[in-house]
Amino acid sequence: MTRVFDEDLTAEFGTRAIHAGQRPEPLAGAIMTPVYLTSTYVQEGLGQNKGYEYARGKNPTREAFERNVAALENGRHGFAFSSGMGCLDSIMKLFRAGDHVVCGENVYGGTFRLFDKILQHMGFTFTYVDTRDPQRVADAMTPATRAVLVETPSNPLMRVTDIAAVSEITRRHGATLIVDNTFASPYFQRPLEVGADIVYHSTTKYLNGHSDMIGGCAIVRDDDLASRLQFIHNAAGAVAGPFDAWLALRGTKTLHLRMRQHDANGREIAKWLVERVGQENVYYIGLPTHPQYELVCRQMSGFGGMISVELGTRERAAHVLGRVRVFSLAESLGGVESLISHPAAMTHASVPPERRAAIGLSDGLIRLSCGVEDVGDLLADLEQAFEGMPSAGRGKREAGGGKGQPARDTIRTGAT
Ligand SMILES: Cc1ncc(COP(=O)(O)O)c(C=O)c1O
């Protein structure tokens, strides 16, 4: 079982990001953890080995990454998986047929798909609630509830769940609180510190930060929970490969630097968008007008670079998506480069249209993952992409809005 080095926990975040979990390699003293490309380990005699037998169970590169992320989340044990979804699938193997799970109604589309299209047919039951209101979580709990899953901030509507309040509810019911911390990253939010039992990530996103691998990781504090997860990790085998673990480990070394810049760019771009389309159409947790701004400031130490924007119609969304040059139209988020996407047709296509409508995820919604480029270039790109956007509802071209003179568009509101 991969456990943090306790001495790593005395350092501040940036020092942990660079050093935690890593020690000079014993053969030559290489400062960077090597990529241990091996499937097995030579044993000196029957029952005699160096603690490594077969690489599904343990790999030194993977262990370094697991210790690193566990230290960043202020946890005790880390588990690296082949993808965020592989990670969640393995977490769910902690439970069994007949168990009931309360899940946030706005989560990544793939999370809903795993629950609705696979686990439901294996005897799990799910209740989806608006976890912004902890009372709704409390009301959904039944004697069979074993887990509560929240994604905060949520993808793509930037809804925030009070982790401490929900953890009190789960504790009262003897259930496990699972938090998807992908959007915030441990730099801005550490759910284990406020009562979560399991925190997990798509490491594909901010933790790796360079859009060059797919991975997931789970972090826990409790030793018993860790040994159950360790068993599943090895037995079900959705483990991270050594090269992906190494890439992600290189990524986390700059997590603190990148997150500061994502945050700075996110704030600037959100400000521009508010001027352009009105604050009621901009979903950004760093806006004082965000309905949960007070909770955001209490629970997180920054806002990050994720912004969603309601443009009113699919046609208007397509206009912007088709014209960007610095932003790239692509799925995913959290890389150094800026991405833009259409959740209804992309990340949340597996959520049925009526469900999307019920939670306010419209065809006019676009999502921006603000990267760490120079913000002036990002703003200029958006400026030219918004130019000539058809007016809401009628397909007319908007008046005004030339460079340097943002004009506020007329957009259908009330999607929140
Ligand atoms: C919030 C969130 N959680 C989990 C996942 C799944 O991760 P992966 O794509 O690495 O399987 C994603 C993917 O977009 C995500 O955005």
Q: Ligand 1: distance of its center to the CA of 334 in Å?
A: 11
* Closest ligand 1 atom to Cα of 331: 14
Residue in this structure with the two tokens 């504090």, named with its chain if needed: 221
Which residue's CA lies nearest to atom 15 of ligand 1? Answer: 108
Which residue's CA lies nearest to atom 7 of ligand 1? Answer: 84
Q: Ligand 1: distance of its center to the CA of 400 in Å?
A: 39
pLDDT by residue (tens digit) across 297-318? 999 999 999 999 999 999 999 9
DSSP character string of 6-59: GGGGGS-HHHHHHHTT----TTT--SSPP----SB---SBTTB-SS--BTTT--
SS3 content of the chain, % helix, strand, coil (to 5): 40, 15, 45
pLDDT by residue (tens digit) across 48-67? 999 999 999 999 999 999 99
- Ligand 1 within 6 A of 335 CB? no
Count Cβ neighbours within 10 Å for each residue of 138-157 and write b for 16 or more, e otherwise: bebbeeebbbbbbbbbbbbb
Which residue's CA lies nearest to atom 10 of ligand 1? Answer: 84
Residue 262: closest CA among 126, 373, 415, 388: 373
pLDDT by residue (tens digit) across 113-164? 999 999 999 999 999 999 999 999 999 999 999 999 999 999 999 999 999 9
Residue in this structure with the two tokens 């090597």, named with its chain if needed: 34
- Ligand 1 within 6 A of 204 CB? yes
Strand partners, 309: 282, 366
Q: Once rounded to an integer, what is the mean pLDDT over residues 95-102? A: 98
Residue 393: predicted pLDDT? 62
Q: Once rounded to an integer, what is the mean pLDDT over residues 100-105? A: 98
- Strands 100-104 and 125-129 turn out to be parallel
pLDDT by residue (tens digit) across 197-245? 999 999 999 999 999 999 999 999 999 999 999 999 999 999 999 999 9
Q: Ligand 1: distance of its center to the CA of 90 in Å?
A: 14
Which residue's CA lies nearest to atom 8 of ligand 1? Answer: 84
- Ligand 1 within 6 A of 152 CB? no
Q: What order of strands is seen across the sheet that includes strand 100-104?
A: 77-81, 216-220, 198-202, 176-180, 145-151, 100-104, 125-129
Judge contact between 242 and 62, C-beta under 8 A: yes
- Ligand 1 within 6 A of 334 CB? no
Residue 396: predicted pLDDT? 37
- Pocket perturbation via mutation, ligand 1, pick of 204, 217, 347 by most ligand atoms within 8 A of CB: 204
* pLDDT > 90: percent of the chain: 93
Asked if the model's pLDDT at residue 411 lies above 50, the reply is no
- Ligand 1 within 6 A of 155 CB? yes
- Pocket perturbation via mutation, ligand 1, pick of 202, 244, 247 by most ligand atoms within 8 A of CB: 202
Residue in this structure with the two tokens 């809903």, named with its chain if needed: 112
Residue 392: predicted pLDDT? 78
Q: Once rounded to an integer, what is the mean pLDDT over residues 6-34? A: 97
* Closest ligand 1 atom to Cα of 204: 10
| DSSP tag of 121 | G
Judge contact between 363 and 317, C-beta under 8 A: yes
Q: Ligand 1: distance of its center to the CA of 258 in Å?
A: 19
CA distances from 94 to 23, 81, 243 (A): 32, 15, 27
- The HSE-up count of residue 184 (CA atoms within 13 Å, CB side) is 30
Asked if the model's pLDDT at residue 395 lies above 90, the reply is no
- Pocket perturbation via mutation, ligand 1, pick of 81, 152, 155, 333 by most ligand atoms within 8 A of CB: 155
Asked if the model's pLDDT at residue 399 lies above 90, the reply is no
Q: CA 201: distance to chain centroid?
A: 5
Asked whether the bond before 352 is cis by omega within 30 degrees of 0, the reply is no
Please, which pLDDT band fits residue 1 given cuts at 50, 70 and 90? confident
* Closest ligand 1 atom to Cα of 155: 1
Which residue's CA lies nearest to atom 9 of ligand 1? Answer: 84
Strand partners, 80: 217
Catalytic residue list: 56, 108, 180, 205
Torsion on CA atoms 155, 156, 157, 158, rounded to nearest 10? 60
Rounded distance between C-alpha atoms, residue 361 and residue 216, angstroms: 25
Residue 115: predicted pLDDT? 98
> Contacts from 235-238 at CB under 8 Å and sequence distance 24+?
236/89, 236/90, 236/93, 237/56, 238/81, 238/82, 238/83, 238/86, 238/87, 238/89, 238/90
Residue 391: predicted pLDDT? 87
Residue 407: predicted pLDDT? 37
- Ligand 1 within 6 A of 151 CB? yes
Residue 65: closest CA among 104, 108, 35, 110: 35
Asked if the model's pLDDT at residue 404 lies above 80, the reply is no
| DSSP tag of 296 | H
Q: Which phi and psi angles does 367 have, rounded to 5°?
A: -125, 135
* Closest ligand 1 atom to Cα of 154: 1
pLDDT by residue (tens digit) across 327-347? 999 999 999 999 999 999 999
336's CB contacts (< 8 A; 6+ apart) are 209, 210, 211, 258, 371, 372, 373
